[in-house]
Structure 1
């Protein structure tokens, strides 16, 4: 028997007791009926409340399940958006690197064409010399030797690279530097260049450092090795005398008409820059924005930020979208 039926029977029994007790004038029976009726009413109220609570509990459970489903869908959507964002960044990076690669190839083409033109001019000269009389050949060869001496005294773009400073800058930009691309980028407006790379060298030199130096030499950098000593805390190392060596070389080598490109943002080079500027030398500073001394940027004739050309200098690598 269900509880609702029991309540109905109890209510009926209560009414019967109350009516019967009133008719036969039995107070006890009437009181029993009233007490039974009160109990039936109370029980009915309790059942009703329990039913309402059960419905609310079901609704709450359904709401929680729906909320869990919505949360799961939201997380899936968020993951998809993150993947799309990574794909977009990858495509953007790939596009920039492709563009940088094209620019590198275009510049290399210009360099090759210029070299071919120079060789053709030399070939024309030797062909003309060969067609003339022997005594004229001697004269012309002498003239050519004089021309060579004159050319050797022409202005030059001298590039001085603070290896430690550049290394920290590249780490900050989170790229792998293509030193061939760096040489091409800094040689764009120069007819004759000389690149010097200053770096600390361990003693004895390890295999990784030896390969790196061989790679620089292959890319036509003149590598100037300096000693490395442990700092007082013994947890890091310091290259000894690199700034001084760069400054000494600049002062000793640069002449009027030359151009200097200093790859460093160190403010210690300000006196050196000012000195060669007094000789009529243009000085361009190449550095990462956050590592460039404000005073050095004000003294320099031109400033090139590595941040702005990083995609021209980064090694091309294939990217896989997550």
Structure 2
């Protein structure tokens, strides 16, 4: 026996059949059950009446039950697979609205899948959906008993006859369900309800002898008493039926109320579940926020510590700045005093140089007066010498290595010797911040010809001030008047110039500080004069 058979009635099954199948499918199923055989009446019979007859025969005949069940199982196969793979919670969540399922066109199939499921809770959910549907859409009325439908086929008659022999329950002319509820009868539907109907009409006494009359009268009285008792019992049963009917109505209302409460509680349960999930999520977020707060608190503590250290360092830095300011003031004062003292010493030095220059001029003048003739004879056979001094190169070489200055007068006497000096050039770069007037005057008074140029500033802030090209031009222009070129510079840029001088058959000599002279220049030169301490002042 199917689980659904014990819990639904003919009206409910008829509606499921009508919702699941189309008109042609219902007629085909009725043909298979032997309910229709007259083609003329098929179009005249309402399809919901045919579905009702199928539902009624479903409850009264096992063979028809099998046929209807097979058709429904095939129709609701997909819905049954869905229900089988869902638990009760999912079924209540996704299949909770009969109205929604009806709008989607699958209510009948879902209801049958729920009703035939092996799980009792799932079946109960199907009954609840069916009850909700009946409240919103009342079932169609059953077909009238006196409709002119064609008689069942011989097979259906034999099936109904054989199955009716196994039960004492009566069936409807169209195989209505034997266990279906009996239609409510009205008080005027039976003559038994009339007390006058229950009275027995007395037999005329002329037809019976006295003894027979007495016996019949006695039996009549007994029958009348029995009838009265039955009538009383019937009245009690009617009263009890009325009470039960009222109780049934009350229970139906209570069931409807409980169903509504159950639906409400299910909705509340779903809300509670969602709330619990949300609470769990909020708890996790709260834990994360607490960790972030703790992390930020630690960072804030570190920030406060750093801020305190910054304030401490700021105070110390302010103290250092004050000390630096005072030190700068002291340094500026010392520098001012130094410059004042240096200017004073420079003035004294210039005075001494002037005195020395005058003394040397005096000595030279006296020496010239004593031996002019002999000197001219001595210089006549000597080679012609030209001296070219790169003052900037000599100055920085002496300053960087010895922190002293070169004696240019002694240098000229040493490198020329007894040879004939044609010209001696001193190439100077003028620096605006340094006053070199006294130095240049000293060189001029001791045989040097001064060539000077100002220090030029480039656009990028660097300075340009060298005589490399100027020295080379002067030497080349004087080669014909010289036999020996003496170059006082250690700059390797003059290597090409030295090669050119030798190509012209002239002698090239180099005088410079050995540590500051290019090795190539020393190799090319015909003679190299290393400058030592004896030529420094």
Which has the larger Rg? 2
Higher share in strand: 1
Q: Normalising to structure 1: TM-score of the pair? A: 0.47
TM-score of the superposed pair, with normalisation by structure 2: 0.29
